[in-house]
Chain A
Amino acid sequence: MKLMKRLMAGTVAGVLVATLFASAAHAAEPAAAPAPAAGVNTFNRLMKPKSDRNPAQANDGIHDPTCEGTGLLQLPKEAFKDMPEASSGNYVDWVQALNKQLIKPRYDRKNPNEEPVVLDLDIVREVKGTMPDVVYPHDRHTMWLDCSNCHPDIFIPEKGKNQISMAMILMGQKCGVCHGKVAFPVAECRKCHSKKKDGSGGGKPAAQAEPAKSEPAKKPTK
């Protein structure tokens, strides 16, 4: 009987401690969804949890986990560890990563010291309605791309000669040739719609401390 009581007390204490620990651990988790109700009524139903981002190749749904090569590939999470975050795509802000020289992608296949030909020319496209105007920055594109990647196949190089709409972009045309495929996706409206109707904003986003054009002059440190 005594033993029984002690056992019970022990169990109760154990459960209490465990509960305390659990709730403490829970409190420490910042924005994690509150304990998901089991079954159909999860807190976030359609939004993907953050933990799903940048999965390891072995369980990304396209690599064969039984293939020896798969295990040798670099984990995206490892590569992106110290990179500035973005809210979609690879969840990496590639413009900032390049500006801050956290990455030093070659501009030439063989010569690591070749520097890009950067054109500093912003094109403002007025947008009807409430959305801020679109600023198309040549500088942040020519750091990655050659003129002939866009001119003349995607865009005639003359302001106003190209009809562009959101529907076209979403269908993978115009800006949508890259945005939504490899460059940041359409979800990040404000990166393109950056010039407020009262004239503020546009050009270089505030987050971008130093103007991009002065950056690429630095030589990559091999």
Chain B
Amino acid sequence: MKPIGRGFWRLTMALALALCLGMDAALAEYADVVLNSQAEAQGVRPVIYPHWFHRIRFRCKVCHNELGFEMKVGSNQIDMNKILDGKFCGMCHNGDIAWGTEFCDRCHSGLPGLQTGIRGGSKSTGPGEY
């Protein structure tokens, strides 16, 4: 088999997978991020971070360059102590730029049992589901 044949086959498979899997994807809004590395284990609901809501207010660059959020789900070790110290979400959720950390259940609004990851058709690795 010529190499181009194999490449084409792989592409076709990947595309087919991407287009078929999509159908029973969760309904969540595209690019919503579930953060649950410790939350539930510590007795609070998982956190849901909505990209769509924030990108209406900030360019990607603000969080992913200025504030140092790595563009990879799960690679930022976020916890409440850091947030209260003004890091990560706490760079804005400080009662100055946005409402403060006392409103726990606006961030901790996820269903129990959710895994950390990006939702709404998006996937961190492998073809997304649309």
Chain A residues at the B interface, C-beta cutoff of 8 Å: 46-48, 52, 54-55, 57, 59-64, 67-70, 72-74, 76, 79, 88-90, 92, 94, 103, 105-110, 116, 143-146, 148-149, 165-167, 170-172, 177-178, 180-182, 185-187
> Given A79-B56, A181-B124, does the pair A186, B111 have CB atoms closer than 8 Å?
no
B41 at the interface (CB under 8 A from A): no
Q: Which of B83-103 contact A (CB under 8 A)?
A: 91-92, 97, 103
Contact A170 B27 (CB under 8 A): no
Most buried by A among B30, B52, B111: B30
Contacts of B22 in A (CB 8 A): 48
- A-B pairs, top 3 by smallest CB distance, nearest first, are A69-B105, A180-B128, A69-B106
Q: What is the distance, in angstroms, from A140's C-beta to the closest C-beta of chain B?
A: 12
B74 at the interface (CB under 8 A from A): no
What are 17 of the A-B contact pairs (CB < 8 Å)? A60-B26, A62-B28, A63-B48, A67-B108, A90-B52, A94-B55, A103-B55, A105-B59, A144-B59, A145-B65, A149-B61, A170-B127, A171-B14, A171-B126, A180-B127, A181-B128, A186-B127
Q: What is the distance, in angstroms, from B83's C-beta to the closest C-beta of chain A?
A: 15
Contact B121 A185 (CB under 8 A): yes
Partner of A62, one of B11, B48, B52, B103: B48
Complex alpha-carbon distance, A172 and B14, angstroms? 12
Partner of B62, one of A103, A106, A180, A185: A106
Contact A167 B112 (CB under 8 A): no
Q: Which of B53-72 contact A (CB under 8 A)?
A: 53, 55-62, 64-67, 71
Complex alpha-carbon distance, A109 and B30, angstroms? 23
Contact B56 A103 (CB under 8 A): yes
Interface of A is mostly: loop
Q: What is the distance, in angstroms, from B101's C-beta to the closest C-beta of chain A?
A: 13
Contacts of B127 in A (CB 8 A): 170-171, 180, 186
Contact B126 A170 (CB under 8 A): yes
Contact A109 B125 (CB under 8 A): no
Most buried by A among B11, B19, B57, B122: B122
Contacts of B7 in A (CB 8 A): 165, 167
B31 at the interface (CB under 8 A from A): yes
Partner of A106, one of B30, B59, B64: B59
Complex alpha-carbon distance, A119 and B63, angstroms? 20
Other A-B pairs beyond A47-B23, A73-B53, 17, CB < 8 Å: A48-B22, A48-B23, A60-B27, A63-B109, A90-B31, A105-B59, A109-B97, A144-B61, A145-B60, A148-B65, A149-B71, A166-B15, A167-B11, A167-B14, A170-B15, A181-B123, A185-B122
Contacts of A88 in B (CB 8 A): 30, 121, 130
Contacts of A54 in B (CB 8 A): 29
CB nearest neighbor in A for B126: A171
